[in-house]
Structure 1
Amino acid sequence: MAWDIATLILTPPGFDRNKKYPTIISVHPFGSCKEQTSSAVYGKALAEHGFVVIAFDASYQGESGGAPRWIESPSQRVADVSHVIDYAVTLPYVDAERIGGIGICGGGGYILNATLTEKRIKAAVGITPVNIGRLFREGFSQYNPLGALDAMAAQRTKEALGGELQVNELLPASPEAATAAGLTEIDVFEATDYYKTPRGQQPGGWTRMLFSHAQQTLAWDAFNFSETLMNQPMMVVIGQKAGAFGAYCDGMEAYGRATASKDRQLVSLQGWSHYDLYDQAEPVALAMEQMLPFLKQHVAGE
């Protein structure tokens, strides 16, 4: 079975489709969509500096195809990156020898994982990257991964027999609802502020997950084999204000394990949080200050 992947293609000022441009594949966070930070913030900034940027919706999410909806499949998310590159290299204005990747949050984990085996990616940047497998084994399963797997198995059997799908909403309905429920931990509250208010809310960014199809996520590791297979240049950008979703620790791990990388760089920003790096002007500017020369060197060849 095949389906379409929906993309947004951002182009540089003075774009000329008869020229070839360095190109960045931009991967959105878990629960997000292409219209949010992957295109509107980082994609826009990179396009302004001469890159073509392709931001896309994950399979089963946003405007991309795939059913049932709201599946979060790490293996599919990583495969999507290669499918988007397959499309990118057919575009006359994309330089197939100058392709890089970025990803934010879960997308940061996915782009780093994709880079392990997708050698058309010349360099990758994980922006506040989260290892979704680790998060599911820990906080998202309430530190009971075997219990979560048993519940998923029972629910999947129920659905196979015609029962109603269990779609989990991952966040409170509003910051006010989060406060009322005592959900004021920094990552949970700031995620709600981003996804559930005009700050970042978009029709495709549902922050939903089909519970019964998440089993494989618990056995997945974004950084497995990094010591051997991550030979491309890689950068990790993290905020030092750590939260429950674990991007600070995951970013440190991703950087620490990439010992085969030709140029590994860690950008650790004091005083900024995971969700600050989604769209807040100052930390985004600090991140871009480091990302831009890195990508220009290793992808654009400047």
Structure 2
Amino acid sequence: MNTQKITFRNPDMAWDISALILLPSDFDEKKRYPAMVSVHPFGSCKEQTSSTVYGKALAEAGYVVIAYDASFQGESGGTPRYIEDPSQRVEDISRVIDYAATLPYVDVARIGGLGICGGGGYVINAALTEKRLKAVVGITPVNVGRLFREGFSEFNPIEALEGMAAQRTLEAQGGELQVNELLPPSIEFAKENGLIERDVFEATDYYKTARGQTEGGATRMLFSHAQKTLSWDAFAFAETLMTQPVMAVVGQKVGAFGAYRDGLDIYGKSVASKDRQLVELQDWSHYDLYDNPTAVGLAMEKIIPFLAQHMS
């Protein structure tokens, strides 16, 4: 497998997007290949599971894969940093597709998308209106809007919005930016402070240890610019607009971030889809599906034939 690091900028952008292009081992630049846009989780970056796990597996299966950093995050441009804006995250997917369409070795009639965690919610949402996506897969997909309205705001979204409003005014008047760290700083800290809920603890084990920790995977969020997240719904209008084949892969070991629930939700709503599939993995959790070889292997056993059927 050959990996290339690139940057690109669309005419309507004021900053660059940084991405990794993963090519099949037998790549021939004179041929045209199906392509997959690989979308990283909330708080993650392209060097983590979107490229090293799922990007690699898809490239080995014969796809050109573009794993990229979201705007304002990782090595992509945009300021201020650490903005998590669902509308921007979804627009980034279209911009990556625009870039893929310029590559002579990409078959523009065979472009799909895969996303992990929040990236799964984003790629599914993108497919509602981005019909260049021929099929989409959400790996343990999370509807970030629902999560913000519930757990991330401690089930008090109005108080969270009022706090964001006050902080944004303060920053506009010259005050310091409030960048929130979303996870405990270490496994030891989590244990000592009773932060052992499954998803929180396993996220810490992934993002704060050598297992998954990278410089670009910040797990931080600019608090004052997160207002619109609370009014966003990844699956709004899916009953009508989700016409493409869609697969949700979820672990049955449930955690507080709600991916199991969200996977069932998008499956239930995708009644207009040409092929909707729900893959439930009994013995696995949200973060097992990031990089556990057995869990990922079980997921890929379903994903590869699904994509082959709909992107051939």
Give the TM-score, by structure 2 length. Answer: 0.96
Match of 1:274 among 286, 295, 300: 286
The aligned residue for residue 260 of structure 2 is 248
Deviation at 1:109, TM superposition (A): 0.1
Matches within 5 A, 1:287-302: 287-299=299-311, 301=312
Structure 2 CA distance, aligned partners of 1:136 and 1:238?
Answer: 20
Do structure 1's residue 202 and structure 2's residue 208 form an aligned pair?
no
Structure 1 residues 228-280: Cα deviation after superposition (integer angstroms, max 9, x where no partner): 00000000000000000000000000110000000000000001000000000
- 2:118 corresponds to: 106
Listed as ranges, the matches of 1:150-161 within 5 Å are: 150-161=162-173
- Secondary structure, aligned partner of 2:17: coil
| 1:135 partnered with 2:163 | no
SS where residue 224 of structure 2 aligns? helix
Correspondent of 2:230 among 206, 213, 218: 218
Q: Distance in 2 between matches of 1:207 and 1:119?
A: 31
CA–CA distance in structure 2, aligned partners of residues 55 and 62 of structure 1: 12
Letter in 2 for 1:176: E
What is the identity, as a one-letter code, of the residue corresponding to 2:27? F
1:84 to 92, 96, 118: 96
Distance 1:148 1:259 in 2: 34
How far apart are residue 221 of structure 1 and its match? 0.2
TM-score with structure 1 setting the length: 0.99
1:2 deviation in Å? 1.3
Match of 2:25 in 1: 13
Which residue of structure 1 aligns with residue 198 of structure 2? 186
Letter of the 1:147 counterpart? E
Match of 1:95 among 101, 107, 115: 107
Q: Aligned pair 1:73/2:102, yes or no?
A: no
Deviation at 1:297, TM superposition (A): 1.3
- For 2:236, what is the secondary structure of its paired residue? coil
For residue 143 of structure 2, what is the amino acid of its counterpart?
N
> Sequence identity of aligned pairs in percent?
73
Q: Tell me how large the CA RMSD over aligned residues is.
A: 0.5
Task: State the SS of the aligned residue for 2:229.
Answer: helix
Three-state SS of the structure 2 residue aligned to 1:6 is: strand
| C-alpha separation in 2, matches of 1:137 and 1:235 | 25
2:7 matched residue in structure 1: none
Alpha-carbon distance in structure 2 between the residues aligned to 1:70 and 1:163: 17
Secondary structure of 1:123's aligned partner: strand
Counterpart for residue 46 of structure 1: 58
Query: What stretches of structure 2 of length at least 5 have no aligned partner?
Result: 1-12
Deviations 1:212-238 (A, max 9, x none): 000000000000000000000000000
Q: Which residue of 1 aligns with 2:37?
A: 25
User: Runs of at least 4 residues of structure 1 off by over 6 A?
Assistant: none
Q: How many residues align?
A: 300
Q: Distance in 2 between matches of 1:214 and 1:253?
A: 24
